[in-house]
Amino acid sequence: MIKRIGVLTSGGDAPGMNAAIRAIVQAGMNENLQILGIYDGYSGLYKNHIIYLDQHVVSNILNQGGTILGSTRFPEFYKENIRSIAVKNIKKNNIDAIIVIGGNGSYAGAKELTNMGIPCISLPGTIDNDTPGTDYTIGYFTALQTVVDAIDRLRDTSASHHRISIVEIMGKDCGDLTISASIASGCDFFIIPEIPYEKKMLLKKIKNGIKRQKKHAVIAVTEYVCDIIELSKYLEKNTSLETKVTILGHIQRGGRPVVYDRILASQMGAYAIKILLNGYSSRCIGIKNNCIVHHDIEFAMQNMKKTFQRDWFETAQKLY
Ligand code: F6P
């Protein structure tokens, strides 16, 4: 019988996490459940940093970026002795189930907790759009809007000064943000982790532009894929166009969630309460073909890993 639910946000924060927390509290309290907030992700479970949440605490957070519960990366949670302390705290607080909002690392933590007898439901909360079992993650569309706004601005100044702009975009091992931003902002070239790129192809593309009197270019690059400073020097040397590098960094993680993220987070939060009350545990929630769905978390982590969106990639390539 589920009476008390703990909620935590973990890993990199993502716009829409607050909307999900609010939905969990509202939907939970409407079912006469008690909802507890765990501060700073799994580290708060370990440190027993837990508070009561109610409708008052979550009022006016739907449209706020970040997470009111705080978030950390807590690799110590991979250690069984640390998790055992967390489990003791869960029991001490009479918490019957945990809802985790986060990315892949957070899913791994939820899977481990489930294996230790704690019912868990996970919601995909990350700007990277790389968690299993979902088409989209909470925060992805807000980050995408932020990136596109930034590239629009960069294009204005690059075109005015006849410069090349290299813009580094977050995403870890996933090029979704980069590909989508390239499509939405008309980038001249993009470099993503999933597909090796050739420097010479990039140079040829820019030189073709120069032949057509196009003396500026915007190149989108996913973080960690290549050395963008070295790339900028290479392009500058071989095109004679001044080349500037912009690292968008954590700006991409902040800001008010866009409407889609608010709706997705709200739907997923309410759905988490629904499936918990229907007796489910060890599940992760996703959106597939516009429907909110849930999967066994272990199965999803092993068999439903985020796949590369080749059709997006091919479309994006045709547009530059
Ligand atoms: O997972 C979200 C993300 O923003 C990634 O895109 C990025 O690589 C990472 O987190 C940065 O993490 P941190 O904020 O811990 O530096």
Q: Is 40 part of the annotated catalytic residue set? A: no
Decide whether any atom of ligand 1 lies within 6 Å of the 124 Cβ: no
Q: Residue 210: phi, psi to the nearest 5? A: -60, -40
90-129 tens-digit pLDDT = 999 999 999 999 999 999 999 999 999 999 999 999 999 9
Using pLDDT thresholds of 50, 70 and 90, give the confidence band for residue 176: very high
Mutation to probe ligand 1, out of 172, 173, 192, 221 (largest number of atoms < 8 A from CB): 172
Residues 164/242, Cβ–Cβ less than 8 Å: yes
**In sequence order, what are the residues at sequence separation of 6 or more whose Cβ sits closer than 8 angstroms to the Cβ of residue 281?**
97, 114, 119, 120, 121
pTM of the model: 0.97
Decide whether any atom of ligand 1 lies within 6 Å of the 222 Cβ: no
Residues 268/17, Cβ–Cβ less than 8 Å: no
28-85 tens-digit pLDDT = 999 999 999 999 999 999 999 999 999 999 999 999 999 999 999 999 999 999 999 9
Tell me if residue 103 falls in helix, strand or coil.
Answer: coil
Q: Please name the residue whose Cα sits nearest to atom 15 of ligand 1.
A: 12
- Chain CA centroid to CA 164, Å: 28
Q: Residue 185: phi, psi to the nearest 5? A: -120, 5
Using pLDDT thresholds of 50, 70 and 90, give the confidence band for residue 316: confident
Mean pLDDT, the chain, whole residue set? 97
Using pLDDT thresholds of 50, 70 and 90, give the confidence band for residue 244: very high
Give the Å distance between the CA of 149 and the centre of ligand 1.
20
Give the Å distance between the CA of 306 and the centre of ligand 1.
17
pLDDT above 90 for 302? yes
Pairwise pLDDT comparison (319 vs 152), residue with the higher score: 152
- So what's the pLDDT on residue 319? 87
Q: Please name the residue whose Cα sits nearest to atom 2 of ligand 1.
A: 12
Q: Please name the residue whose Cα sits nearest to atom 3 of ligand 1.
A: 12
Decide whether any atom of ligand 1 lies within 6 Å of the 254 Cβ: no
* Of 13, 128, 130, 188, catalytic: 128
Give the Å distance between the CA of 128 and the centre of ligand 1.
8
Burial class (CB in 10 A: 0-12, 13-18, 19+), 277: middle
DSSP 165: E
Give the Å distance between the CA of 12 and the centre of ligand 1.
5
205-235 tens-digit pLDDT = 999 999 999 999 999 999 999 999 999 999 9
Decide whether any atom of ligand 1 lies within 6 Å of the 102 Cβ: no
Other CB atoms within 10 Å distance of the CB of residue 292: 17
Please tell me the distance from the alpha carbon of residue 112 to that of residue 107, in angstroms, as a whole number: 9
Q: How many H-runs (helices) and E-runs (strands) does the chain carry?
A: 11, 11
Q: Which residue has the tokens 């590369």?
A: 308
- Alpha-carbon dihedral 261, 266, 271, 273, rounded to 10 degrees: 130
